[in-house]
Structure 1
Amino acid sequence: MFILSSILLLLFVLVSVGFFTLLERKVLSYMQIRKGPNKVGFVGLLQPFSDGMKLFLKEQVYPLNSNFLIYYLCPIIMLIQSLFIWCLFPFYFNCVSYSFGLLFFLCCSSLSIYPTIMCGWSSNSVYSMLGMVRMVSQVISYEVSLSIILLCFFMLVNSYNLMNFYSFEYWSWFIFISFPLFFCWFSCALAETNRTPFDFSEGESELVSGFNIEYGSGGFSYLFISEYSSIIFICMLTTLIFLGGDFYSFFFYMKMIILCFVFIWLRCTFPRFRFDKLMYLAWKCYLPMSLGYLIFFFLIKLLVFYHFFLLSY
């Protein structure tokens, strides 16, 4: 039953990635006052399936000067890494409850850098190499602030387990006690998932397609699925921490969909950031604020502990 529930979870994630791409194309078309996919099936509902068939049935080509084995393996490794992190999805029936879920998330999200390095290096292209270098520096920079922000809330919950956020849903949403920190988290999540306005690894205007420029057909689709599954997982984690962790209710998934819509909305609205401004934002703005909140939450925790210690005597 455990294996069956895990397979079902992965299948639902893959289907949700397909329909998330349909949602993105629909929202982009409405915001740009044009028609989106509407030919394949009723209002374009079969478009994700036709896109998947088209990508996986295309001929696979590869650069002659590439490192052939690593070039083929790294999209599969990136897909496995992005799907592996969904083991943290918090539900009771037939799934593992990780006592150190935070550490597992940080380890898995850190591993996403290595397939990107392999993609950029093995393609033997200047554009892919530049996109890889920019992505690595961006992800490493923003992962520091992301980890500290996560540590703040796990320290308040007094556990590293994601399931414990469920008990806090009934009396508080953490967005109300840390509203500025929510925007820092959301910006770091955009940079971590390489979304606009922080999509420097796929800078179309200067790098054509960035680190994945040499990939087509199946390899490109694996990279595409891994990126979008990471976006959906980040939206799930944001909803769980900031917007109430009642993951048994319908409203939990509605809040997830709204956050996915905001990711698309930002893509329509903001132009790409300048790279030096991106680094300035990470090290000079988000890192001091997240450290300040960490010290603040630690002092609150210390005062509460001291108060209960005095009451016990």
Structure 2
Amino acid sequence: MSDMLVTLALILGKLLFIFGVVLFMAAYLVLAERKILGRMQLRYGPNRVGPFGLMQPLADVIKLLTKEDFVPARADKWLFLIAPGITAVTALLVFAVIPFGSPLEIFGRQVPLVVVDLNIGVLYFLGVSSMAVYGVVLGGWASNSKYSLLGGVRGLSQMVSYELSLGLSLVPVIMMARSFSLTDIVMAQQSIPFVLLNPVAFGVFFICVLAESNRIPFDLPEAENELVGGFHTEYSGMRFGLFFVGEYINMVVLGSLVTVFFLGGWNGPWLPPLLWFLFKVLAVCAMFIWIRASMPRLRYDQLMNLGWKILLPLSLVNILVTGAVLLGLG
């Protein structure tokens, strides 16, 4: 009985730690993005609330909580209300299988720094991440607005198109690690990260991750100069905030997955493993911000052509080449 209580306490502790760190990172990624974009566009960015603008995330939360939360008269009320939660919750659920450090000794036992070390972690990630599209589609459809509906349809077709290439880009990773467990994938990169062994898979995965997160140059579901706000046009108050925060939670989650699959996870010299993991995740998030500041939005035909005519064939060829090389070596 005591062992069960200790196990439950450890799982709860890891859940609270992940929840707190991810929400903190998401809040300050908003600030970091606004300040970095400001500097790259020759303006200041937020600098009024607190020293160097560091209290801006708190001010934003207060503003969103105190704004009126309304539902359009002809909207499907219940779907309209639950759609933002789907987006935020599915992003957090993926973190259940992401290992963020090497095992630690706690209470006299070796505790893995992952909530649940599933032996099918890759399949869990693909299954849960594919549910995120429901938040976008239901939010767009339930709003009873043409702009929102167009944004939802765009989001659905975009995620379906790029989900296929994203899944296929992970097949070489599974072949090289010989496991579906994310912990085993990190352990397989102790000597050399997979980004060096298979840069094609990394390139395809990184592009698909950008598309999955609906960020520039793949932000067609929002496209403010075409669709006002896209799928979240009719949302206000904290429900809009959930969509907004969900995007940045997704950035942290996808940055963590890029780190686990291709950058060696927590492996690295000199620094503690947890710091290595955090450093790599922040580096990937900084790349997301840099791309947003540097690239224009794709046209919709370019988006579809890239997904179906370039990334999908490239992923299939890469699987064949990786299989042939592994067969030749082994």
The TM-score bracket by the shorter chain reads over 0.9
Q: What aligned pairs does 1:191-202 form with structure 2 within 5 A after superposition?
A: 191-202=211-222
1:95 aligns with 2:115: yes
Secondary structure of the structure 1 residue equivalent to 2:130 = helix
Q: Provide Cα deviations, 1:53-86, integer angstroms capped at 9, x if missing partner.
A: 1101211111111111111111112221111111
| TM-score, normalised relative to structure 2 | 0.89
Aligned equivalents of 2:71, 2:85: Cα separation in 1: 15
Q: Aligned letter for 2:291?
A: L
CA distance in 2, matches of 1:234, 1:78: 14
Alignment correspondent of 1:52? 61
Aligned positions of 1:2-41 closer than 5 A: 2-41=11-50
Aligned to 2:243: 223
Please give the per-residue CA displacement for 1:67-110, whole angstroms capped at 9, x wherever unaligned: 11111111112221111111122141472111100110010111
Contact 2:99 2:113 in 1 (8 A): no
The amino acid that maps onto 1:22 is L
Match of 1:139 in 2: 159
Using the TM superposition, give the Cα deviation of residue 242 of structure 1 relative to its aligned residue in structure 2, in angstroms: 1.6
How far apart, in 2, do the equivalents of 1:250 and 1:115 lie?
Answer: 33
Whichever residue aligns with residue 34 of structure 1, its letter is: R
Structure 1: distance between partners of 2:198 and 2:80: 43
Asked whether the equivalents of residues 169 and 246 of structure 1 are also in contact (C-alpha less than 8 Å), the reply is: no
Q: CA deviation at 1:38?
A: 1.1
2:305 maps to what in 1?
Answer: 280
Unmatched segments (≥5 aa) in structure 1: 306-313
CA contact 2:98–2:114 (8 Å) conserved in 1: no
Matched, 1:298 2:323: yes
Identity between Structure 1 and Structure 2 (%): 37
Q: Is the 8 A contact 1:90 1:163 kept in 2?
A: yes
1:229 is displaced (CA, Å) by: 0.8
Q: CA-atom RMSD, angstroms? A: 1.4
Could you tell me how far 1:259 is from its partner in structure 2?
1.3
Report if the CA contact (8 A) 1:168-1:245 is conserved. no
- State how far apart, in whole Å, the 2-side matches of 1:52 and 1:12 are: 17
Q: How many residue pairs get matched?
A: 305
Q: Who is 1:105 aligned against?
A: 125
Rounded to whole Å, the distance in 1 between the matches of 2:148 and 2:90 is 20
Name the SS of the counterpart of 1:33 in structure 2: coil
Equivalent position to 1:255, from 276, 280, 286: 280
Q: What is residue 173 of structure 1 aligned with on the other side?
A: 193
Residue in 1 aligned with 2:266?
246
Separation in 1, partners of 2:314, 2:113: 38
Specify every segment of 5 or more residues in structure 2 that has no aligned partner in the other structure, as ranges.
1-8, 101-111, 268-272
Say if 2:69 and 2:237, in contact at 8 Å, map to a contact too: yes
Structure 2: distance between partners of 1:146 and 1:94? 23
Q: Which residue of the partner structure matches residue 311 of structure 1? A: none
Structure-2 separation of matches of 1:98 and 1:14: 24
Conserved in 1, the CA contact under 8 Å of 2:94 and 2:128?
A: yes
1:270 is matched by which residue type in structure 2? Answer: M
In 2, Cα distance between equivalents of 1:125 and 1:52: 26
